[in-house]
Amino acid sequence: MFDLQTIIAALLIIGALAYASVVLLRKTRAFSRKGACADDCGCSSKSKTPKTAH
Amino acid sequence: MNENGNKSHLTIALAGNPNAGKTTLFNSLTGLNQKVANYPGVTVERKEGIWDLGDRTATLIDLPGLYSLDATSLDEQIARDVITGKVENIPPPDVIVSVVDATNLERNLYLTTQLFEYGIPVVVALTMIDVFEKRKHEIDIAKLSASLGVPVIAVNSKAERGKRELAEKVNALAGTASKIPHESNGGAPNGENALIFARYNFISKAVQDSVKHNDKIEHRVSEKIDRVLTHKVFGLAILVLILLTVFQAIFSWATLPMDLLDKGFGALGDAVRASLPPGILADLLVDGIIAGVGGVLVFLPQILLLFLFISILEDTGYLARAAFLLDKLMSRVGLHGKAFLPLMSSFACAIPGIMATRTIENKRDRFATILIAPFMSCSARLPVYTLMIGAFFAGQTVFGFISLGAILMLAMYTLGITVALIVAFILKRTLLKAPPPPFIMELPPYRMPSIRTVFQNMLTRAWLFVKRAGTVILAISIILWALMYFPRSSQPGSSGQSSVASGQQAGSSVNEQQTTNNEPLPEGEQLRNSFAGRLGHAIEPVIRPLGFDWKIGVALIASFAAREVLVSTLSIIYNVGKGENEESETLISAIRDAKDDSGRTVWTPLTALTLMVFFVLAMQCMSTVAIVRRETNSWSWTLFMVGYMTGIAYLASFLTYQGGRMLGFQ
């Protein structure tokens, strides 16, 4: 059977792993491309040049 | 049309330099009748509001803050398009209100002279007039108006001064024809430079005729100081001297609090060990958490001092002079003048620095700045440098009074800047070829630093450091400890049987041992058999030519999460690796005493120097990689950056170590 020390240590390690996974997941999201919104307000990474009437 | 035959609704453009008080005036004139959107297709904010002019109304368009209408940036291009009526759904303005900061009259009027050239009536709104008058300067507004040939109204949004008069003038001018002041372009021979000089001559004459400055002595002193501080030889020498003094102060003043913190964490570890029965939890708390987090937190005094000095230099106006000095160097390698601020921010952390490159209009200039920003020595590298200097170069002086540590620190910062400039030089002539656009830099006046601002900056940075230590570094320390602690191996009872002869045999021997008996291996051998130990042994052949052993290899891999993790990893590795009966020692002495498998000393001053060089140049930061991917929107550029930085770091470290050995250093 596991003693109390082992259980607490295991919980700490699991907690650290969970926290690191969340941080990593957030970083992974930061890697992803910025999406465009429905009407092109200019926030999309695809918009590069101003649309002007000539 | 209204009853007078005038247009009942006007379009007015509000133009002005950044920080001229344009937005304050816009808010004051339009109240809550505002609409904020973006200009079509771009991320430039478009602000419109309804301005009540009395007998008619106007749509007031707040143009982006700009210094000129040369259309070199997106903001300038948009402003020009609005004025010439080229933007969808925005009619050309009937009147332009040029917002001019009275305290920076000459610079602000440059844009106004350009606005004259569009044939649209212009009214000048003079802001910051209260600050101008407080400085005991005098301005003859009627004379300035006559010289410029357009109405000039002094406004103060807070005191409601000039608002009614401004509305009246705008009302009166709408629909009239405007004429360009003769001197602003007349007589100028062909060519853009001649036109620029003609505009400045016109401004200079108008200002001289109407403004009386009463701070000439102050100005003269400031100019004299600038002549020395921005001198290409003396200026650089003073910059080096200031940086040396800062680093020397950081080392000498931080020593006592750092020692106290170090001893404090050591004592805490011993107390926890004494109060808990021997076992896995005691090991995790002492060798993992206290050693890992404490090992990084020890450097808090240095971080505080570094940001104290940076804040003071920034607040006095000196950093702008340093920027001016380095700008010459940067423009020679092809970097945009606007690259300085992102690069300067990168000395604190590369992430805000890379995000600040958004102000650079040209994509190639922007990418070149992003790709070199991580070479600037960020605050996360400081614990690594300090640990190495503290362990091997502490107390040594050059010429009897300059600390060798301060010189090495300056050398590391300089190495980062030099390599960044060389890389920028190559990139701007190959992959990112583009001519650098002209850039005007404004030097702020010298002033006494504000104690409140300085302390606020320092505490913000310190809090970020502590927060990081309590979250990411704590989690990484626990995981690293687990990787160094497991699997637990045991040895056969007979003495003299080495459990593991080498890293390659580690996996098989562990399995054999676990089946034979339960006596645990000595801690050093446990560490070698651990997951981290096996990984370290696997990469050892690659890092051996740099003078690094497998333990440093483990720390190098771990530090990819964050650079300062190198310190916590070494702290854990040397704590886990020592026997249970050994007392906690400081990380510095553990590093000095560390021996490899053959009993040889692992760390020498040359190894420490090589590791510092590696850390200056390597891309050891996951967060920076993420932000580069996001800002460049390209995996190719991100991987290119990681690849070339790691390559340069390896090569430079190899040359340092092998070159040092050839010169007789160990």
Q: Are residues B169 and B310 both part of a single domain?
A: no
Res A46: pLDDT: 45
Res B597: pLDDT: 73
**Tokens 């001198």 sit on residue:** B231
Answer yes or no: are the C-beta atoms of B558 and B476 closer than 8 Å.
Answer: yes
Answer yes or no: are the C-beta atoms of B153 and B162 closer than 8 Å.
Answer: yes
Question: Which H or E run includes B38?
Answer: strand B34-38
> Which of B168, B195, B214 delimits the end of a domain?
B214
In whole angstroms, give the CA distance from residue B141 to residue B102: 11
Q: Is residue B29's pLDDT more than 80?
A: yes
Interface of B with A in 268-307 (CB under 8 A): 276-277, 279-282, 284
Tens-digit pLDDT profile for residues B114-127:
888 888 999 999 98
Q: Are residues B288 and B187 both part of a single domain?
A: no
Q: B289 by DSSP, 3-state: which?
A: helix
Interface of B with A in 450-479 (CB under 8 A): 471-472, 474-479
Res B368: pLDDT: 92
Read off φ and ψ for residue B3, nearest 5 degrees. Answer: -65, -20
What is the distance of C-alpha B90 from the center of its chain?
38
> Which of B198, B214, B230 delimits the end of a domain?
B214
**AA letter at B18:** P
In whole angstroms, give the CA distance from residue B296 to residue B386: 11
**Tokens 């651990």 sit on residue:** B530
- DSSP letters of B520-580? BPPHHHHHHHSHHHHHHHHHHHHHGGGT--HHHHHHHHHTTT-TTHHHHHHHHHHHHTS-T
Q: Are residues B209 and B246 both part of a single domain?
A: no
In whole angstroms, give the CA distance from residue B171 to residue B162: 14
Look at chain B and report how many structural domains it folds into: 2
Tell how strand B122-127 and strand B152-154 pair up. Answer: parallel
Instruction: Label residue A38 by pLDDT band (50, 70, 90).
Output: very low
Q: Are residues B160 and B110 both part of a single domain?
A: yes
Q: What CATH number should be reported for the domain holding residue B152?
A: 3.40.50.300
Tens-digit pLDDT profile for residues B406-453:
999 999 999 999 999 999 999 989 988 877 666 666 677 777 888 887
Most confident of B72-86, B437-451, B460-474, B582-596: B460-474
* % of chain B exceeding 70 in pLDDT: 85
Q: Is residue B579's pLDDT more than 70?
A: no
Q: Are residues B165 and B294 both part of a single domain?
A: no
Res B507: pLDDT: 41
Read off φ and ψ for residue B408, nearest 5 degrees. Answer: -65, -40
Q: Is residue B648's pLDDT more than 50?
A: yes
What value does the CA radius of gyration of chain B take, rounded to a whole number of Å? 32
Measure in Å the smallest separation between the Cα of A27 and chain B Cα atoms.
6
Instruction: Label residue B461 by pLDDT band (50, 70, 90).
Output: confident
Domain range enclosing B160 = 9-214
Tens-digit pLDDT profile for residues B221-267:
777 888 898 888 899 899 889 988 988 888 788 889 988 998 899 89
How many CA within 13 A on the CB side of residue B416?
Answer: 26
In whole angstroms, give the CA distance from residue B312 to residue B449: 6
Res B633: pLDDT: 81
Task: Compute the C-alpha angle B213/B217/B223, nearest 5°.
Answer: 100
Task: Compute the C-alpha angle B613/B619/B624, nearest 5°.
Answer: 140
Q: Are residues B233 and B143 both part of a single domain?
A: no
Answer yes or no: are the C-beta atoms of B56 and B8 closer than 8 Å.
Answer: yes
Tens-digit pLDDT profile for residues B514-559:
444 556 666 677 888 889 889 999 999 999 999 999 899 999 988 8
Q: Which residue has the higher pLDDT, B295 or B6?
A: B295
Q: Are residues B132 and B235 both part of a single domain?
A: no
Q: Are residues B156 and B223 both part of a single domain?
A: no
Burial class (CB in 10 A: 0-12, 13-18, 19+), B187: exposed
In a domain, B651, yes or no: yes
Contact A5 B482 (CB under 8 A): no
- DSSP letters of B348-363? T-HHHHHHGGGG--SH
Q: Is residue B653's pLDDT more than 90?
A: yes
Q: Are residues B394 and B404 both part of a single domain?
A: yes
Q: Are residues B243 and B206 both part of a single domain?
A: no
Contact A52 B88 (CB under 8 A): yes
Distances (CA, A) of B400 to B132, B357, B385, B396, B616: 51, 43, 22, 9, 27
Task: Compute the C-alpha angle B480/B486/B490, nearest 5°.
Answer: 150
In this complex, which of B86, B477, B626 lies closest to A31 when CB atoms are compared?
Answer: B626
Q: Which residues of B touch A39 (CB under 8 A)?
A: none
Residue B343 has which token pair? 């690069």
Question: Helices in B39-96 by DSSP H: which ranges?
Answer: 74-83
- Mutation target vs A (from B281, B287, B473; most A CBs, 10 A cutoff): B281
Q: Are residues B245 and B207 both part of a single domain?
A: no
Res B54: pLDDT: 83
- Mutation target vs A (from B478, B632, B633; most A CBs, 10 A cutoff): B478
Q: Are residues B140 and B253 both part of a single domain?
A: no
Answer yes or no: are the C-beta atoms of B631 and B357 closer than 8 Å.
Answer: yes
Instruction: Label residue B512 by pLDDT band (50, 70, 90).
Output: very low
Tell how strand B45-52 and strand B57-62 pair up. Answer: antiparallel
Res B381: pLDDT: 92
Q: Is residue B513's pLDDT more than 50?
A: no
